[in-house]
Amino acid sequence: RDEGPPREIQDVRDNSKDGEYWEALTHILPPRKLKLWDALGAALLEYHKVLTRRSELFSEATALQRQNS
């Protein structure tokens, strides 16, 4: 039997409270925790810089050792 084209299904969703939902998500972490995470992020960036510099110095030292051998 030929049913013809499929019917369009209208997705009707109440989006009247979407703004409230997204606004509430911006306050999921208390300010104190946000400060902590910001501080940890900054400290990790500094630590990464230190490790990167150590790696560069180690490579230089290895090259110098090879030259001295």
| H or E stretch at 20 | helix 18-25
Could you tell me if residue 12 is left (phi over 0), alpha (psi between -120 and 50 degrees) or otherwise beta?
beta
pLDDT single digits (tens) 38-63: 999 999 999 999 999 999 999 999 99
Q: What is the domain partition of the chain in residue ranges?
A: 30-68
pLDDT top residue among 1 and 14: 14
pTM of whole model > 0.85? Answer: no
